[in-house]
């Protein structure tokens, strides 16, 4: 961790730290208020959604949601570098007792832009093919609404020109494009447009993948990932609303460089911190629930005997902290 990150530890309890980052347990508003101005390259987070029924992870009331969330966004904006970004995943919900959608994610966006002076760099949509039908009343029982399988992900920036490298997050070519690249003359006949631009040359060059669309198809059915497998062995419940690793990784790769600082102020199971660590970025994760903080250490303890993982999780739960060496899983 850098000296700057060590200074933040007074704002929350340190649960564990790697060479690149730290997981704090505490009030995100208090920790965010301590972040120096112009110090963060990227915030990636998924706040608790304003669902109709209270969840274990503490979702907020629909009517109060936007004002509650704006507090965090305001502090995040103050801490962002001029080239920095805030990426926030907000799922949809229905209004209470009605088959009518809430507009909370759109009201939040307007508040971020109109009141907090963010720019909407681009809207993304995360399509989760594995998302379960909900609410049951309208989808399963009465069958009057389709399954909601898309979350809105707002990419917000402090200025008009945030750091971005879209070429770093290219997606695999389609089968037809692969055939074209293998034998351009067989599958494509170059045509010259009225502008005299030869599009044949552009389509025959292998750039290592296609540029990504703003629809991200990422399944969140990771029932067999190492984090969940270990939780099962420990007979512990996991966080019920987890990011798939590919989602924060996409934005971290696109919007930051190695060594940049990535912050998640609703870290849950700390998928963002793990993704940032794996990609060589400094990171800071903040979560108010002590149990979720302790269990998130499992992501950094891969390869350890189960009894050692259990012992170290309990150490965090009892008020201690871990210092982890990335790469070999040793604890020191």
pLDDT tens figures, 30-47: 999 999 999 999 999 999
CA dist 120 and 153 (Å) reads 11
**pLDDT higher than threshold 70 for residue 61:** no
Whether 77 and 87 map to the same domain: the answer is: yes
Catalytic hit among 41, 89, 260, 264: 89
Q: Which residues of 158-184 are buried (b: 16+ CB within 10 A; e: fewer)?
A: beeebbbeeeebeeebeeebeebbeeb
- Collapsing DSSP states into helix, strand and coil, what is residue 123? strand
Instruction: Answer yes or no: 323 catalytic.
Output: no
Range of the domain at 32: 3-171+211-323
Categorize the per-residue pLDDT at 201 as very low, low, confident or very high, splitting at 50, 70 and 90: low
What does the pLDDT read at residue 190?
58
How many domains does one find in the chain? Answer: 2
Catalytic hit among 11, 28, 46, 269: 46
| Alpha-carbon 48 to chain mean position | 13
What does the pLDDT read at residue 303?
81
Catalytic hit among 11, 28, 47, 244: 47
Q: Which residue has the higher pLDDT, 193 or 26?
A: 26
CA dist 329 and 181 (Å) reads 42
Domain assignment present for residue 330? The answer is no
Query: 95-120: per-residue pLDDT in tens?
Result: 888 899 989 899 999 999 999 999 99
Residue that finishes a domain, picked among 210, 237, 260: 210
Question: ∠ at Cα 125 (121, 127), nearest 5°?
Answer: 160
Q: What is the Cα Rg of the chain in Å?
A: 22
Whether 259 and 271 map to the same domain: the answer is: yes
Instruction: Answer yes or no: 46 catalytic.
Output: yes
Categorize the per-residue pLDDT at 58 as very low, low, confident or very high, splitting at 50, 70 and 90: very low
Question: What is the arrangement of strands in the sheet containing 21-25, beginning at the earlier edge strand?
Answer: 215-217, 119-127, 150-157, 80-90, 40-45, 261-264, 282-287, 21-25, 13-17, 322-323
Query: 206-226: per-residue pLDDT in tens?
Result: 777 889 999 999 987 765 678
Exposure of 243 by Cβ count < 10 A (0-12 exposed, 13-18 middle, 19+ buried)?
A: buried
Domain assignment present for residue 250? The answer is yes
CA atoms within 13 A on the CB side of 190: 14
């Amino acid at each position: 961790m850098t000296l700057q990150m060590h200074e933040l530890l007074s704002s929350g309890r340190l649960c564990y730290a790697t060479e690149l980052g730290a997981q704090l347990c505490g009030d995100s508003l208090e920790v965010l208020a301590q972040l120096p101005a112009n110090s963060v390259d990227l915030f990636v987070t998924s706040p608790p959604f304003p669902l109709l029924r209270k969840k274990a992870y503490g979702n907020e009331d629909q009517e109060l949601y936007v004002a509650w969330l704006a507090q965090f966004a305001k502090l995040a904006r103050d801490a962002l570098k001029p080239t920095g970004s805030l990426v926030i995943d907000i799922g949809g919900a229905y209004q209470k007792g009605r088959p009518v959608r809430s507009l909370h994610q759109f009201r939040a966006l307007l508040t971020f832009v109109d009141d907090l002076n963010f720019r909407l760099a681009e809207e993304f949509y995360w399509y989760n093919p594995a998302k379960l039908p909900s609410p049951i009343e309208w989808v399963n029982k009465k069958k009057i609404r389709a399954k909601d399988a898309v979350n809105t992900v707002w990419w917000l920036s402090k200025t008009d020109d945030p750091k971005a490298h879209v070429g770093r997050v290219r997606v695999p070519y389609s089968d037809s494009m692969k055939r074209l690249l293998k034998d351009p003359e067989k599958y494509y006949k170059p045509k010259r447009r009225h502008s005299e631009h030869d599009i044949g040359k552009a389509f025959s060059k292998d750039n290592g993948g296609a540029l990504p669309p703003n629809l991200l198809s990422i399944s969140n059915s990771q029932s067999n990932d190492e984090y969940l497998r270990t939780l099962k062995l420990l007979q512990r419940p996991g966080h019920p609303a987890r990011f798939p690793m590919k989602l924060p990784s996409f934005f971290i790769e696109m919007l930051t460089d190695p060594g940049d600082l990535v912050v998640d102020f609703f870290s849950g199971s700390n998928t963002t911190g793990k993704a940032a660590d794996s990609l060589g970025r400094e990171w800071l994760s903040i979560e108010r629930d002590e149990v979720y903080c302790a269990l998130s250490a499992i992501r950094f303890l891969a390869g350890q005997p189960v009894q050692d993982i259990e012992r170290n999780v309990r150490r965090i739960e009892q008020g201690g902290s871990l210092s982890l060496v990335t790469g070999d899983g040793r604890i020191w």
